């Protein structure tokens, strides 16, 4: 991982995290306090994801799963739900524009990390959505079976 990118992340971690969490919570129609269970899960997971981005070998699947599991059960279109994974890219781009450290290699490393993160989030989100639909189909089958049993009795 590009050392300059890692330094930028570390130096601005708190600011990025606060802005990212605000964007994530803004997805929900009602104003959400930081003390709600969803906000607490998002806060912890987003911090883990952000910490892992600065490392060359990062594994943030568990944190991604925590966030995408919550997003998958919401009544959002996927584009809106997964838009929160584009936010840190915009936040960090603004920070990089203000600093002289941002060279082409740093920007490429930064773009590739966030693109990979977004794709991982999409995979995780779709796994959760597929599970939800599978459960709905199974529940419908059970209801139909029970209705047939009652009709036969």
What's the pLDDT score for residue 125?
Answer: 96
At residue 55, φ and ψ (nearest 5 deg) are: -95, 150
Q: What is the CATH number of the domain that holds 69?
A: 1.10.490
Count: domains in the chain: 1
With a CB cutoff of 8 Å and minimum separation 6, the contacts of 149 are none
Distance of alpha carbon 124 from alpha carbon 39, whole angstroms: 19
Residue range(s) defining the domain that contains residue 28: 3-152
Alpha-carbon gap, residue 107 to 96, rounded angstroms: 8
pLDDT per residue as tens digits for the range 7-22: 888 888 999 999 999 9
pTM of the full predicted structure?
0.83
- pLDDT, tens digit, 9 for 90 and up, residues 93-152: 888 777 765 566 677 777 888 898 999 999 999 999 999 999 999 999 999 999 999 998
Could you give the CA distance from residue 64 to residue 54 in angstroms, rounded to a whole number? 16
């Amino acid at each position: 991982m590009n050392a300059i990118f890692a330094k930028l992340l570390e130096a601005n971690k708190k600011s990025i995290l606060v802005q990212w969490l605000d964007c994530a919570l803004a997805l929900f129609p009602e104003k959400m306090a930081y003390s709600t269970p969803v906000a607490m899960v998002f806060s912890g997971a987003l911090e883990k994801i952000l910490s892992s981005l600065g490392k060359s070998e990062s594994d943030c699947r568990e944190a991604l799963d925590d966030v995408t599991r919550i997003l998958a059960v919401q009544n959002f279109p996927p584009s809106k739900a997964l838009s929160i994974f584009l936010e840190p890219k915009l936040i960090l781009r603004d920070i990089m524009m203000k600093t002289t450290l941002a060279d082409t290699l740093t920007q490429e490393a930064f773009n590739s990390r966030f693109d990979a993160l977004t794709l991982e989030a999409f995979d995780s989100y779709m796994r959760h959505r597929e599970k939800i639909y599978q459960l709905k189909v199974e529940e419908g089958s059970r209801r139909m079976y029970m209705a047939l049993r009652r009709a036969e009795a």
